[in-house]
Chain A
């Protein structure tokens, strides 16, 4: 079963004084996400990622198109009991404590009182907020609020979890924890749909990604395939400036800092380059792949015209 099917969802805003001008929030989007997948929704700021999520959550209404979640019409209230949502920069009632907030949200999601009682403390521990369970949210830092956010998104054990920029506001440790959390959610069998503009996270976590720009879908694909589509290049770092003239035959720029030099070569040039260095008695310091990353795919897709929807 498909977890999410987006069937031509569109959101065009009418702006201006007479509501005549049009502003595109999302152009007719078609997307399918099978269950159990971790799906990354990429794009620069203003691409329409949040618009898509708000449409799916029923917070705003589409000007065209529909969607299905877990094979039900997306606005069906019954469906919303089976999905979780973490908004971008979440705001919660700051006069409540995490305990109270989760209890309240749990009631709204239909979690029974006994389940709430047993799950909430464990959940708070899982997200590392056990100590602040009774502190009012107004005293929480951004990172702590983000943890509350993820907790409320999974409290009712949804099958699909939607996260809007889950890493925002987190320090590196928090980001790592969030990554681990997403992976654990996936291991539990949940489908995770998250939007981000941090490509490294998408690369690390997602089975598939989509790239969105200016409200249009630019590309969809499995991460390894997308990455492999680009010819990869390698950066070679060595010690021994005497080798520089010899390396120049590879026709690339060489950067020098003291006795250390750095040069970029293509994949098929790699072996000959390493041989050259050996012949020149230069000391190899490191060889690293550069480009051929999601970043390149991403930047490329931003420049291309839009993919025609199926």
Chain B
């Protein structure tokens, strides 16, 4: 089983590369390059802060866009184009297929994020001419961003197992936005009464808790991230991803292919 999942994952990665998904790295590099002359000119005393904020926000946005738009087509594209037939007529379980696809996309994003991180650290080195301990702290923020991708890919996969690509994209995007407001939903639930309270509460648990995964602003000011948060976020992400993947597998296993 693992050899099949590995094969599917690798093939998914290969597809992303040959579909030129990794070209987004070029835009990222261009962004960093274009930004550098601005840094000295406009801002007073915020160069490092701005570089961190801009780079990490870019990593986040690029990654989320890829997670959603490649994620929703992972399964639907194969069904649409019927490339699934020769695959599923082999001893490949439907669950193996979904999980393999998931791992492939997560792996692609890992490579993508690693490349962007390298670019960012190069830019940081050019700016500050040396590394400080606080710079390692930024890696934690980037790790959290990767966890965000892991969650969103799971959501995209889940939605695309039963709805059209367009709807899946809308659902996944909505969940992302709602997830950034998870804290507000909880606060709203605490204040409300009656049905609104339960609805808001339910929503605040169902949407992914993305607020705690975004520490970009904190690391831009070199604030340390506690190890307990790292642990909590890792566990939460693993559980949330497991839930969405299981849901996707359940739905997909019962589905007639066209």
- Chain A: residues with CB nearer than 8 A to chain B? 54, 57-61, 77-78, 80-81, 83, 85, 87, 89-93, 95-96, 100, 104-105, 107-110, 149, 152, 156
Cβ contacts under 8 Å, B254 to chain A: 61
Q: In the A-B complex, list the 3 residue pairs whose CB atoms are closest, starting with the nearest.
A: A95-B18, A85-B89, A60-B256
The segment from B90-98, B112-120, B203-211 found at the interface with A is B90-98
CB distance from B46 to the nearest CB of A (A): 44
Whether B7 pairs with A108 at a CB distance below 8 angstroms is yes
Q: Which residue of B lies closest to A78 (CB)?
A: B91
Whether B256 pairs with A61 at a CB distance below 8 angstroms is yes
- Chain B: residues with CB nearer than 8 A to chain A? 3-4, 7-8, 11, 14-15, 18-19, 81-93, 254, 256-257
What are 24 pairs between A and B in contact, CB < 8 Å? A54-B257, A58-B88, A59-B85, A59-B256, A60-B257, A80-B91, A81-B90, A85-B86, A87-B86, A89-B82, A95-B15, A95-B19, A96-B14, A105-B90, A107-B3, A107-B7, A108-B7, A108-B87, A108-B90, A108-B91, A108-B92, A110-B91, A149-B86, A156-B90
Q: How many angstroms between the C-alpha atoms of A109 and B88 in the bound complex?
A: 10
Cβ contacts under 8 Å, B81 to chain A: 91
Cβ contacts under 8 Å, B11 to chain A: 93, 96, 104
Q: Which residue of A lies closest to B1 (CB)?
A: A77
CB distance from B97 to the nearest CB of A (A): 9
Cβ contacts under 8 Å, B4 to chain A: 107-108
Cβ contacts under 8 Å, B14 to chain A: 95-96, 100
Cβ contacts under 8 Å, B89 to chain A: 57-59, 80, 83, 85, 87
Whether B90 pairs with A109 at a CB distance below 8 angstroms is yes
Q: Which residue of B lies closest to A11 (CB)?
A: B256
Q: Which residue of B lies closest to A85 (CB)?
A: B89
The 8 Å CB contact of B86, one of A78, A81, A90, is A90
CB distance from B75 to the nearest CB of A (A): 14
Q: Which residue of A lies closest to B87 (CB)?
A: A108
Q: Secondary structure of the A side of the interface? A: loop
Q: How many angstroms between the C-alpha atoms of A77 and B254 in the bound complex?
A: 16
The 8 Å CB contact of A85, one of B3, B7, B83, B85, is B85
Cβ contacts under 8 Å, A96 to chain B: 11, 14
CB distance from A79 to the nearest CB of B (A): 8
Q: Given known contacts A57-B85, A96-B14, A108-B4, what 17 new A-B pairs fall within 8 Å (CB)? A: A59-B84, A59-B85, A59-B88, A61-B254, A77-B92, A78-B91, A80-B92, A81-B91, A85-B89, A87-B82, A87-B86, A90-B82, A90-B85, A91-B85, A92-B86, A95-B19, A105-B87
Whether A57 pairs with B88 at a CB distance below 8 angstroms is yes
Q: How many angstroms between the C-alpha atoms of A91 and B14 in the bound complex?
A: 17
Whether B83 pairs with A92 at a CB distance below 8 angstroms is yes
CB distance from A62 to the nearest CB of B (A): 10
Q: Which residue of A lies closest to B94 (CB)?
A: A58
Q: How many angstroms between the C-alpha atoms of A18 and B14 in the bound complex?
A: 42
Q: Which residue of A lies closest to B93 (CB)?
A: A77
Q: How many angstroms between the C-alpha atoms of A79 and B256 in the bound complex?
A: 20
Q: How many angstroms between the C-alpha atoms of A226 and B14 in the bound complex?
A: 51
Q: How many angstroms between the C-alpha atoms of A87 and B14 in the bound complex?
A: 24
Cβ contacts under 8 Å, A78 to chain B: 91
Cβ contacts under 8 Å, A59 to chain B: 84-85, 88-89, 256-257
Known A-B contacts A60-B256, A81-B91; the reply to A152 vs B86 at CB < 8 A is yes
Q: How many angstroms between the C-alpha atoms of A96 and B19 in the bound complex?
A: 11
Q: How many angstroms between the C-alpha atoms of A90 and B85 in the bound complex?
A: 8
Cβ contacts under 8 Å, B83 to chain A: 91-93
Of the listed residues B81, B82, B84, the one surrounded by the most CB atoms of chain A closer than 10 A to its CB is B82
CB distance from A70 to the nearest CB of B (A): 13
Cβ contacts under 8 Å, A87 to chain B: 82, 85-86, 89
Cβ contacts under 8 Å, A156 to chain B: 90
Q: How many angstroms between the C-alpha atoms of A60 and B84 in the bound complex?
A: 12
Q: Which residue of A lies closest to B256 (CB)?
A: A60
Cβ contacts under 8 Å, A107 to chain B: 3-4, 7
